[in-house]
Amino acid sequence: MTRVHIIGTAGYGAADFTRLALRHPRLELGALESHSHEGKPIAEHAPLLRRLERSYDPPGTTLSQLLPKDIVILAGRSEDSRALAPQFLAHGARVIDFSDAFRLHAHADSAIYGSPERYRERIAQAKLIANPGCYPTATLLALAPLGAFGGEIVQLVIDAKSGVTGAGRTPATGSLFAEVDEDVRAYGFGGHRHEPEIAQELKACGIAAPFIFTPQVVPLRRGMLVSAYATFAREPDPHAVAAAYVRAYANDPFVRILDAARAPSLTAVAQTNDAELHITVNGRVARILCAIDNLGKGAAGQAMQNLNIMLGFPEETALL
């Protein structure tokens, strides 16, 4: 059995990861730290973990219990990840970080960007995984296969809608029910924090075209739908575009490419690590729709997939 410690366990993504870890046949839970809920029963705070008869551990518990080859999940603030990750690595542990602390220039900083569909071999050898954000995950799943046509793409438009849990569990006025119900709220007009991450990874795919990114919050607990539009310099062959997606995801167990009659569904991917894609070409514009669960493939599910790859387990373990 491999022991996994979780820091920031009271957050939405970390609670979802804990749920997955509980049903993983080859993992056992170590420390479950929370700065904000130290000493409080986990079941009272996280209903989906009511079978877990434990209280949140205080900060520092993981480091005091850590053994080589343990796994540490960092699900707190970026500044905490930057301070803690080197300490855990120095003790021989492997780390998966949910924050944006190591995503930019990840490969130059000894971290691996945790996109299994693109970096599977690197993830298998990694000591430190920068788990991608939910917006970049859905966006890159939608657009990465177009790297085969990189030089032919002249403009990208990314329209992204996220459930409220994407804002995290810390109370904020903009996340209250009365603020989001019966509304769709666009934000980040001056530049969203995920844009540099998206630009970095699009470039790594071979796509250097400028893009417009519009994130929006919709009145759902969880789920994400990205509608991406790629304008080509000249009309592409629709069959070649479709074939690029089939090639790109032929060996990926969680990516479904839908036929023309079906649209991606948030209900279909809810509480899973799945992604549904739909591709159409109209003239010079390719439209790609991608649906994921922002706490699943956009956070905890992808982290578990990365953990399975790191440890040599089947990728689907605890995720199907």
CA dihedral 24, 87, 296, 136 (to 10 degrees): -150
pLDDT exceeds cutoff 60 at 80: yes
- The Cα–Cα gap between 162 and 214 comes to 11
Is-contact 298 166, C-beta < 8 A? yes
Burial of 48 (0-12, 13-18, 19+ CB in 10 A): middle
Single out the residue of 93, 102, 45 nearest to residue 73, CA to CA: 93
pLDDT exceeds cutoff 80 at 289: yes
- The Cα–Cα gap between 301 and 296 comes to 4
Instruction: Answer yes or no: 290 catalytic.
Output: no
- The count of C-alpha atoms lying within 13 angstroms of the C-alpha of 38, restricted to the half-sphere facing its C-beta, is 6
pTM of the model as a whole? 0.94
The catalytically annotated residue of 134, 270, 286, 319 is 134
Q: Write out pLDDT tens, residues 120-165.
A: 999 999 999 999 999 999 999 999 999 999 899 999 999 999 998 7
Is-contact 106 130, C-beta < 8 A? yes
166 — pLDDT class (breaks 50, 70, 90)? low
The end-to-end CA distance of the chain, in Å, is 20
| Average pLDDT of the residues in 80-98 | 97
Q: Which residues of 132-148 are buried (b: 16+ CB within 10 A; e: fewer)?
A: bbbbbbbbbbbbbbbbb
- The Cα–Cα gap between 34 and 8 comes to 5
| Average pLDDT of the residues in 94-101 | 96
Distance of CA 292 to the CA centre of its chain: 9
Instruction: State both tokens at 129.
Output: 């995984």
Residue ranges and CATH numbers for the domains of the chain are 2-132+298-311 (3.40.50.720), 135-294 (3.30.360.10)
pLDDT exceeds cutoff 70 at 177: no
Kind and range of the H or E run holding 296: none
Instruction: State both tokens at 152.
Output: 């032919």
Estimate the crossing angle of helix 116-125 against helix 195-205, to 10 degrees: 90
Single out the residue of 66, 58, 65 nearest to residue 10, CA to CA: 58
Burial of 47 (0-12, 13-18, 19+ CB in 10 A): exposed
